A and B are shown apart, each in its own frame.
Chain A
Amino acid sequence: MARIAIDPITRIEGHLRIEVQVDGGAVSDAWASATMFRGVETILKGRDPREAWAITQRFCGVCTTVHAFTSVRAVENALGITVPNNARILRNIIEGIQFVQDHVIHFYHLHALDWVDIVSALDADPAATSDLAQAISDWPKSSTDYFTAVKAKLKAYVDSGQLGPFANAYWGHAAYKLPPEANLMAVAHYLEALDWQRDVIRAHALLGSKNPHLQTYLVGGMATPIDPTSQAAINADTIAMLKGYFKTAKDFVEKVYLQDLLAIAPFYLDWAGIGAGVGNYLAYGEYPDKDGVLYFPQGYILNKDLSKVYPLDHMQITEHVAHSWYEYADEKKGLHPWQGETTPKFTGPQPPYDFLNVDGKYTWMKAPRLDEHPMEVGPLARMLVAYASGQQDVVDTVNFVLGKLGAGPEALFSTLGRTAARCIETVLLANKLDEWVNELAANIAAGDVDVHEGSKWDPENWPAEAEGYGYIEAPRGALGHWIRIKDKKIENYQAVVPSTWNCSPRDAAGQQGPYEAALVGTPIADEKKPLEVLRTIHSFDPCIACGVHLLDVNGNEINQITFDAADTMSAPLIRLRPDK
């Protein structure tokens, strides 16, 4: 029996600490702690609502764009603005390539080294590696010479004695199962993906000036204009460049990412039975078409029951602080985000410390609950809600992958399932990108070049008070912003973020959050090298800076806000799927 603290959890965004209790070679209990706090929402108070997107975008530089997007949706909802069709398409494209690029980075640069042993690649036979690569894909970089060169570079790097970011890892751990050739192939693709991600995200620069932190969102639309007769606007050349980037994106996703997943997963099928977690899945849905129908539908699933998708009512969302470093008057109950008393109060051990007091408060994350259920959000939740809703593209692609792995849908409720769902979603979106570009081109061809609805730009045209919300599916899951505007200024701003759901601590009833629940039962071969913990945690793709900012440091203004019961999250952008 041993207590292990893993801090920092690396290869994530933000500062995350995991403590686990290990009994008999497996995790018997777990605690997730976010150890950094900024208090960004206070800064928003009193500011121009039109600039909230730029500030909230800085919640996170990895999920760049998603908070900006959610923020303008919230303000547009409050002011009753419908953006031009081109703006909707441009936002879909920007968000879509963000998903595709971010998921590939996650797989190769944040997650792969949990499954791929780089040192083992030094034992690979390049000819056999070439055979392997050509057997699974027609990706051109697959010759013996190519893998010989990759291996030589790797060897020279290791021989230099300066191992840089690859020093002190768990190389040689018994839980690594891939043969040397698969490891070498993965190392090659790790390096290729570094170049690929840089190239394809130039689409963000084309449509939004730069990445990370695009500078193109506007309340009412987009700041990058369209004009086929201008060099200073989106024109035919832009369309052609986008199509080029998205072909590059699709090729890599289909010929490398998907094939690597299908090649690696069979060595780790035991992980289809590990890491399930809370078994409840929530998706807000995303990618509206011109009629507002979402490509990935909204809803939630309870207890892994795919026979029923529940409609979402955001009034069921509460946040607990029984184990979070905040104060409520009554900490036995959760509060709706609009009613939250969010006074920060650190009660943990003073640094430097060895272990947290997990019987008390132990994290800067709150514990959001939906109808008192802890919910997992993210690619797996999206794919499960879509699968159970009968979204045909999702059903087909999920069944294709499950068929290749010889597994049933129950395999999805796992660490491996989470990693597979992320890839499935990437394949789907990589195919949608070109479709959206064509839709944009057709609009322009038909003479529609509008990107901004300006009638409400001038605050003089606003009501004295307004309130609204916006939400999105970020790469890491369901994200919502709530805003209240008074006298043309932000009176209150709240965000409930994907990693707040996933990284939540226990609530007042003692229910674990998704990370914590997923770790229980995880086998640990070597307590000094808890590689298995990283696998499950990384399968969620943690983004911690995003999650920790749900506060009003001054604490009290939020209490007074009430919203119309009819004013639910399922209002204008979302068309709910009927119950099954």
Chain B
Amino acid sequence: MINTSMQEAIRGRGLSRRDFLKFCSLMAGVLAIPKSYAKNIEIAMETAPRTPIIWLEFQDCAGNSEALLRASRPTVAELVLDVLSVDYHETIMAAAGNLAEEAKDAAIEKGGYILVVEGSIPTADNGVYCTIAGRSAVDILAHAAANSVAVIAAGACAAFGGLPAASPNPTGARSVMELVTDKPVLNLPGCPLNPVNLTATVVHFLTFGELPAMDDLHRPLFAYGARIHDNCPRRGHFDAGEFVRAWDDEGHRKGWCLYKMGCKGPVTFHNCPAVEYNDGTSWPIKAGHGCIACSEPDFWDLGLYNQADLQKFAPPSTYAPVQPPTQHIDPAAAGLIGAAARLVVGAAGAAAYRSLTKPDQPEGSDNAPAEKG
């Protein structure tokens, strides 16, 4: 019975065949692969045994474990009971103390598991800033990585060091990929990660027998291949020069662009606009607060309310025509509309685009701090 397939297991949980197929095509969607691959996913999941997972927590806040609890495609119950065999995870496991460690050691000895790491790893002072069962995090990670098939760094801290590694990094916190160099390491940054992307990564691995294609920061392209700005539902307002200029102003209530309030969508690669959070309920920009770039390294140093530096990026060569100002638009925004309207004129548009981001642009009541942090 050890080789119970995921299909059988999911059926055992009361999911219909139809639900299962829906799940497979949904996963194909998240993974940004053709729908026809849904069949491959289905076959892979019908034949694979439950893949063992060892989930380690170090300098973490358990936010990514909590995010896992919010998984809905499949649910955490299906993930933990049917799809995966979570052989070690301190926050959810029944065993404690020595017996918990023995369960982990047994799984490590058997091998063939995916290692998931949450939290950064403190390396200063012989690792005394994080010990579990009397052993240092550095030691535990090395031991668990040795027999793993692949390592997933779950969340910003494991992927890039996150908050503990921010200056002055008092504990010598390091990311997983700085310490594990002889195994494939895949980063799923985010604060916390979106569980949809964790699920999709696991399914990709089970389907194709390899990790998904990654960018130079080890992030899977299916989830981190596009800029938030490029897929943002409020992009039209950016292009039209319709900006939120103060919290709770008319533009804020109408869902205009949050760039002036410090939104980091233009410098952030993440699929939030496509998959959203909590079963597709919402995501930061939709809820009215700018993106904080939590999938990017060192995002804590960008300054939450500082405007992202757009000049690093080449502006597009053309814009769709912009409607002339009407009485529906705040007169204070008129200067801005004018600036945006200039963008349509080809090459001159590039200069105007850049000037749009300058703090000295006459923009009426804009009171967001414009200085760079």
Chain A residues at the B interface, C-beta cutoff of 8 Å = 5-15, 35-40, 42-43, 48, 50-51, 54-55, 58-62, 64, 105, 109-110, 113, 118, 149, 152-153, 156-157, 159-162, 164-170, 191, 194-195, 197-199, 201-202, 204-213, 215-216, 218, 220-221, 223-227, 230-233, 344, 346, 348-354, 449-452, 454, 457-459, 529-530, 534, 545, 553
Contacts and interface: CB of A to CB of B under 8 A. Distances in A.
A115 to B, nearest CB: 12
Residues of B in contact with A, size category: 35 or more
B302 to A, nearest CB: 10
B246 interface: yes
Contacts of A220: 247
B50 A39 contact: no
Contact of B253 (A54, A109, A210, A232): A232
Q: 8 tightest CB-CB pairs across the interface, nearest first?
A: A61-B63, A232-B255, A209-B287, A169-B94, A210-B277, A205-B281, A51-B304, A205-B278
Contacts of B102: 168
A64 B70 CA distance: 13
Contact of A169 (B91, B95, B246, B369): B95
A202 B69 CA distance: 12
B184 interface: no
B181 to A, nearest CB: 22
Interface core residue of B81, B85, B279 (most chain A CB under 10 Å): B81
Nearest to B52: A162
B355 to A, nearest CB: 23
Contacts of B97: 5-9, 530
A220 to B, nearest CB: 7
Nearest to B291: A215
Contacts of A195: 75, 77
Interface stretch (B33-41, B122-130, B212-220, B313-321): B122-130
Contacts of A350: 126, 128
Given A42-B170, A43-B167, A50-B304, A36 B59 contact: yes
B132 A8 contact: yes
Contact of A198 (B1, B69, B283, B373): B69
A60 B61 contact: yes
B97 to A, nearest CB: 4
Given A61-B63, A168-B100, A48 B12 contact: no
A349 B126 CA distance: 11
A458 B278 contact: no
Interface core residue of B52, B89, B287 (most chain A CB under 10 Å): B287
Contacts of B63: 58, 60-62, 64, 212-213
Contacts of B99: 168-170, 529
Given A64-B63, A215-B284, A233-B255, A197 B69 contact: yes
Interface in B217-268: 246-248, 252-255
B66 A64 contact: yes
B367 interface: yes
A209 B277 contact: yes
Nearest to B102: A168
A164 B84 contact: yes
Contacts of B305: 48, 50-51
A59 B75 CA distance: 26
Interface in B78-92: 80-81, 84-87, 89-92
Interface stretch (B133-141, B332-340, B345-353, B356-364): B133-141
B331 interface: no
B30 interface: no
5 contacts: A15-B132, A60-B63, A156-B4, A454-B246, A459-B369
Interface core residue of A113, A149, A209 (most chain B CB under 10 Å): A209
A11 B70 CA distance: 17
A474 to B, nearest CB: 14
A29 B361 CA distance: 68
Contacts of B168: 42-43, 553
B61 A59 contact: yes
Contacts of A168: 94-95, 99-100, 102-103
Contact of B163 (A38, A211, A452): A38
